[in-house]
Amino acid sequence: MKIGILGGGQLARMLALAGIPLGCEFSIFSPDREACAAPLGRFVCSDYRDEKALMELGASSDVIAFEFENIPVQAVAFLGPHLPVRPGAEALRLAQDRVLEKTLFTELGIPCATFFPVDSLEDLHRAAASTGLPAVLKARRQGYDGRGQTLIRQSDELAGAWQRLGGQPAILESLVDFDREISVIAVRAVSGETAFYPLSENTHHHGILRLAVSQPHDPMQAQAEIYARRLLDRLDYVGVLALELFQAGDHLLANEYAPRVHNSGHWTMEGAATSQFENHLRAIMGLPLGSTALRGVAATMNLIGTVPDKARILGIPNTCLHLYGKACKPGRKLGHVTVCADSMKQLQQILSDLSGLLSSEAVSAVAETGHYQNQKEGGCA
């Protein structure tokens, strides 16, 4: 089957690597000439508003996917009438706007932080009076890896925060004092069949995901699945969806969802019977879903900004290296290491060895424990 992917980053690249053995052929659409997925398929390099180029992608595809929620929804909506786009434009549209996304959570009875749309400084003052401070001001759109977010601790910071955001449509969210961040990677087939991976417990640092650890038999698994299923069914979703959640006491609060494969699910590549990439492809191709069962325990440690010496990484037993073919740049996700182990104790030991190789920035993220706050967490690509 011929699959067209809007976006050419590492998620498209790993989808292609998972799909080639399934007999898929890929076309990659990206405005970025250096798109790291481009070498794995036919490459259409153009702007997302270029309808001629989009038609070219459509003509060489049986189904369209996207790898990133900041793809213009117009591109997806344009292709929709011509061939299946999975998941559809609606899942993308709602994920692109934090107000619509949190409104959806609320409609579906999925708890989340108190929020108010903010379109002016006056709105912001009113919103802050309702949420109380501290609160987090976020751009409604185009936010990921913690970009476009400001923590406001006192009312005299409101004007400065609004100015820093440049007056764009925003959302003010009450600050969630949470114990841990988790995510559930869910997948839904064309038939409506669903499957869920074991939860991932996630550690961010400077807004970027550093570490994601599989959680077998997590007490919050059932509740997270209930929430994810509501989203999947409401959106008549096809493919993998990631729901990021905060746990505060015994409660879960939704942070955001990503209508795609997700960094916190990369450990499924070697750590689950079927990877999230393969299951996304199986779903959008109308094939049966694969088992989401864990194989032992597993974790993903991201490589941010630089890549340590390969020989030293691979010298640590049970590590699998996944590089994205991207040039080094501070704060950039260049790859990840999957670690698999038979027990959580063994996993932690390996992660500790691995963290010794990473930059001090990453090391400190690994060393930190518990208690994060959502001003750092804008989701992770």
Judged by CB under 8 A, the stretch of 49-57, 98-106, 121-129, 305-313 that binds a copy of itself is 305-313
Q: How far lies 238's CA from each of 88, 235, 288, in Å?
A: 8, 9, 12
Nearest alpha-carbon partner for 83 in 285, 225, 248:
285
Q: Residue 282, interface with a copy of itself (CB under 8 A)?
A: yes
Distance, in Å, from the CA atom of 77 to the CA atom of 85, rounded to the nearest integer, reads 9
58 known ligand binder: no
Distance, in Å, from the CA atom of 221 to the CA atom of 250, rounded to the nearest integer, reads 12
Contact yes or no for 227/254 (Cβ under 8 A): yes
Using CB under 8 A as the binding rule, the residues of this chain from 201 to 220 that contact a copy of itself are none
Q: Residue 333, interface with a copy of itself (CB under 8 A)?
A: no
Q: Which residue number, 243 or 301, has a Cβ lying nearer to a copy of itself? A: 301
Q: Which residue number, 77 or 190, has a Cβ lying nearer to a copy of itself? A: 190
Q: Residue 322, interface with a copy of itself (CB under 8 A)?
A: yes
Nearest alpha-carbon partner for 186 in 262, 108, 94:
262
Judged by CB under 8 A, the stretch of 60-68, 155-163, 243-251, 309-317 that binds a copy of itself is 309-317
Judged by CB under 8 A, the stretch of 112-120, 211-219, 222-230, 319-327 that binds a copy of itself is 319-327
Q: List, in sequence order, every residue forming a beta bridge with 240; answer none if it has no partner.
A: 187
Place of tokens 């993998």: 240
Q: Which residue number, 21 or 330, has a Cβ lying nearer to a copy of itself? A: 21
| Minimum distance, C-beta of residue 297 to a copy of itself, in the bound complex (Å) | 13
Distance, in Å, from the CA atom of 242 to the CA atom of 244, rounded to the nearest integer, reads 6
DSSP 84-111: -BSS-HHHHHHHT-HHHHHHHHHHTT--
Q: Residue 310, interface with a copy of itself (CB under 8 A)?
A: yes
Contact yes or no for 161/149 (Cβ under 8 A): no
Q: Residue 86, interface with a copy of itself (CB under 8 A)?
A: no
Q: How far lies 359's CA from each of 136, 264, 366, in Å?
A: 29, 20, 11
Q: Residue 40, interface with a copy of itself (CB under 8 A)?
A: yes
147 known ligand binder: yes
Q: Residue 291, interface with a copy of itself (CB under 8 A)?
A: yes
| Minimum distance, C-beta of residue 175 to a copy of itself, in the bound complex (Å) | 38
| Minimum distance, C-beta of residue 220 to a copy of itself, in the bound complex (Å) | 26
346 known ligand binder: no
Judged by CB under 8 A, the stretch of 44-52, 66-74, 260-268, 304-312 that binds a copy of itself is 304-312
Distance, in Å, from the CA atom of 148 to the CA atom of 110, rounded to the nearest integer, reads 24
Contact yes or no for 366/203 (Cβ under 8 A): yes
Q: Can you give the binding site for a copy of itself, defined by CB under 8 A?
A: 17, 20-23, 40, 273-274, 282, 286-288, 290-291, 295-296, 307, 310-311, 314-315, 317-318, 320-323, 325, 335, 340
The binding site for ATP comprises 98, 138, 143-149, 173-176, 181, 204, 255-256
